Amino acid sequence: MKIDDDKVDDAVLALLWLTLHDERRAWKGFDWDALDRLHQKDLILDPKGKAKSVVLTDEGLRRSEALFTELFAQAPRQ
């Protein structure tokens, strides 16, 4: 099976929103290759280092929230 890295990156970015703290930090317990790709796309700062969290860029923060809503929010009840 061929994996669509862009879809994986979107899912990881959305889940970073779930663990968001201190305004723009999120726990980095995700696949390192995905985190490196998000860094290359300028959505997070460099994930390498001893910190247990990554910092989302302004664009990363905006896209993370939008993707989280798109992928995981329930439609309003009528």
Question: Which pLDDT tens digit goes with each residue over 2-51?
Answer: 999 999 999 999 999 999 999 999 999 999 999 999 999 999 999 998 99
Q: Tell me the domains of the chain and their CATH numbers.
A: 5-72 (1.10.10)
Backbone φ/ψ region at 22: left (φ over 0), alpha (ψ -120 to 50), beta: left
Residue partners of 29: CB distance under 8 A and separation at least 6 = 19
Q: By the 8 A CB rule, do 25 and 54 touch? A: yes
How many Å apart are CA 70 and CA 25, to the nearest integer? 21
Compare 33 and 76 and report the one with higher pLDDT.
33
The closest alpha carbon to 72, from 10, 9, 24, belongs to: 10
